[in-house]
Structure 1
Amino acid sequence: MFDISLAGAAMAGLLSFFTPCILPMVPFYLSYMAGLSMSELTTEGEIAPGAQRRLVTSAIMFALGVTTIFMLMGMGATALGQAFAQWKQVLAYAGAGLLFVFGLHFLGVIRIGILYREARMESSAEPTTVIGAYLMGLAFGFGWTPCVGPALTAILMMAAGMGSLAQGAGLLAVYGLAMTAPFVVAALFARPFLGWMARNRRHLPKVEKAMGAMLILFAVLIATGSVNVISNWLIQAFPGFMNMG
């Protein structure tokens, strides 16, 4: 059955990747994980088979590392939600208010200075190894970035209302996989992807505004308890959704 929570998590993950504070970093991550210089990665011709294989494998392990951290966060949010069930409505209003402010920030209505800062744990492992790439993903997953932080907050608020730890972990797994899947696609088609980035960089502010609108929508859904109402409406309006999932 179609689940608006899972769809929202997937959309938030994709938008997180295409925001101005993540997408521009992709070429450097690809170069770092493949063990290639930027000039080698962007010049014409084929990437050496060994480097291409190393790049794709590293991207997959990096994605799994990031998603692992998000799943643990989802389980923690669900556990906290269950522990403070008697304060559920108050926490929902507080969280919705925070998301609404984040949304206004991305729409450009207000500007919050702290959201322009980025803190990341660094891994000392060699990223061109499988374990190194996974540890790099774990380090990235722990980080707070201007774009992922607000979107992740929205999904964690939804996870807090889940009935089991598995559901909370599953919701954040969807978010993490949706955010990191483009890394794997970029690794598979590194040079075409980098060319696409160069041509479409000017559209990144539009993605930022889309993120703002989505956060405000999440705020309204959480504050009004309308997530299930929207889901039921979608199922009635589009019966094909019944076959999804």
Structure 2
Amino acid sequence: MEKLNLVVVFIEGLLSFLSPCILPILPIYLSMLSNSSIENLNNGSFTKSSLFRNTLFFTLGISTTFFILGSSLNVLSSFFNTNKDLIMIIGGIIIIFMGLFYMGIIKSNILNQEKRFQTKSKSMNPVTSFILGFTFSFGWTPCIGPILASVMIMSSSADNPSTSYLLIGVYTIGFILPFILVSLFYNKLIKSIDKIKIYMDKIKKIGGIVLIVSGLVMLVNGIGNRVELSKMQNNNNNKTENNQSITNNEEEQADGEKIEAIDFTLYDQYGKEHKLSDYKGKTIFLNFWATWCPPCREEMPHMEELYKEYNKNNDDVVILGVASPNLGNEGDQGHIEKFLKDEGHTFPVVFDEGGSLVYQYGISAFPTTFIIDKEGYITQYIPGAMNKETMKYVIESGK
């Protein structure tokens, strides 16, 4: 799905360039950047190196605007992660509406209001070109506004900041690449550009269709994730007596009963097999987590430190994480492996594809940790994040 989003935002970038407020007056922009008139631009009486240089800084100013807008959304990343599915559903509906507006099916006076900053310069140079791109990109609201908004919504609902900025970057490349190409080959492309203007209505319809498709993808994904989450919650409400015993472990142990941990055989990020029953004779720190979970990410460095400490001392303690590829908001195994590598986490994490182990253990929130003693029985159940001292305490008390 991530690759599809990258293709979609790149196409949206190209369509933004072809919008009615940019393509028809492209010669005006280029004449300003080349420090010449439109007539001189058309007959080739301008300095190509100057045009190319100024266009580069012009597009850099545009890129700066887009990344500022994206960063303003990423400040709210915790809110977006918490309400990701709902935002995807609402965002999908908004993007579909924008697609219909872009095609002219829906009319809106508000979206048709355009604001531009006036810039005056006797001679364009890299600095003034950058300012021109930076200020003008804020004023293209009636044309690229709907498309850019869809990119920002997709960016805000991304799994992590790197993916968010990648989406904005790919959109920006799609948008500025034609500017650069036209500045390099203007004399050869001017006739083609004039021909493209004739098909502006069709281009707008294609742009609207792209918006609607991307909105539908977000809407379907958001609804699908909500349904998956609802199934998980229903499963937790109707879990087996064995799982109910796990979550009420301390009360059961008070009556003298022991709850045996559910066995499994899964593989970690290194391809190594882990069978829980093979670790009898050792204390197991079993942690269920997800890449999109902020509390999980906060406690994982502590797990890494304890993993190295216990390994260094050859202690009989196993630190083992459990991640569930393709469950709810979680990405695939490759996404999780990349996250572990980027964050420098080396402790073993087994992959519970689709979350079957999550269901068996009755996990209702991430992170959740179980301490399993040397005989294979659960001694501690800890929902929520822990600091290093607490982790060490529950491990030592579970020995």
TM-score (norm 1): 0.83
Q: 1:83 to 1:122 in 2, by over 3 A?
A: farther
Which of 86, 89, 94 matches 2:90?
Answer: 94
Q: CA deviation at 1:123?
A: 4.2
2:192 maps to 1:196: yes
Q: CA deviation at 1:202?
A: 1.1
Which of 146, 153, 156 matches 1:150?
Answer: 146
Identify the residue that residue 182 of structure 1 maps to in structure 2.
178
Q: CA deviation at 1:80?
A: 1.9
2:165 maps to 1:169: yes
**Contact kept in structure 2, 1:71 and 1:170, CA below 8 Å:** no
SS at match of 1:147: helix
Identify the residue that residue 22 of structure 1 maps to in structure 2.
22
Instruction: Give the structure with the higher percent helix.
Output: 1
Q: 1:212 to 1:222 in 2, by over 3 A?
A: same
State the one-letter code of the partner of 1:117: Q
Q: CA deviation at 1:126?
A: 5.9
State the one-letter code of the partner of 1:90: L
Distance 1:28 1:185 in 2: 16
**Contact kept in structure 1, 2:88 and 2:157, CA below 8 Å:** no
- Residues 189-215 of structure 1: per-residue CA shift (max 9 Å, x gap): 122222212233211111100111111
Identify the residue that residue 40 of structure 1 maps to in structure 2.
40
Q: CA deviation at 1:2?
A: 7.4
Distance 2:123 2:190 in 1: 20
Q: CA deviation at 1:40?
A: 0.8
**Contact kept in structure 1, 2:57 and 2:126, CA below 8 Å:** yes
2:31 maps to 1:31: yes
**Contact kept in structure 2, 1:73 and 1:172, CA below 8 Å:** no
SS at match of 1:143: coil
Identify the residue that residue 243 of structure 1 maps to in structure 2.
none
- Residues 146-180 of structure 1: per-residue CA shift (max 9 Å, x gap): 12110011111111122333332221121112111
Larger radius of gyration: 2
2:202 maps to 1:206: yes
Identify the residue that residue 80 of structure 1 maps to in structure 2.
76
**Contact kept in structure 1, 2:88 and 2:218, CA below 8 Å:** yes
SS at match of 2:105: coil
Q: % of aligned pairs identical?
A: 28
Q: CA deviation at 1:124?
A: 5.0
Distance 1:200 1:84 in 2: 39
**Contact kept in structure 2, 1:77 and 1:168, CA below 8 Å:** no
Distance 1:198 1:144 in 2: 21
Q: CA deviation at 1:107?
A: 2.4
Aligned residues: 225
SS at match of 1:163: coil
Structure number with the bigger relative contact order (C-alpha 8 A, sep ≥ 6) is 1
Q: 1:127 to 1:120 in 2, by over 3 A?
A: farther
- Residues 206-233 of structure 1: per-residue CA shift (max 9 Å, x gap): 110011111111111111117x99xx9x
SS at match of 2:116: coil
**Contact kept in structure 2, 1:62 and 1:137, CA below 8 Å:** yes
- Residues 107-137 of structure 1: per-residue CA shift (max 9 Å, x gap): 2322222333211234456662011111111
Q: CA deviation at 1:139?
A: 1.1
Q: CA deviation at 1:63?
A: 0.9
2:73 maps to 1:54: no
Distance 1:166 1:174 in 2: 12
TM-score (norm 2): 0.52
Instruction: Give the structure with the higher percent strand.
Output: 2
Distance 1:125 1:82 in 2: 43
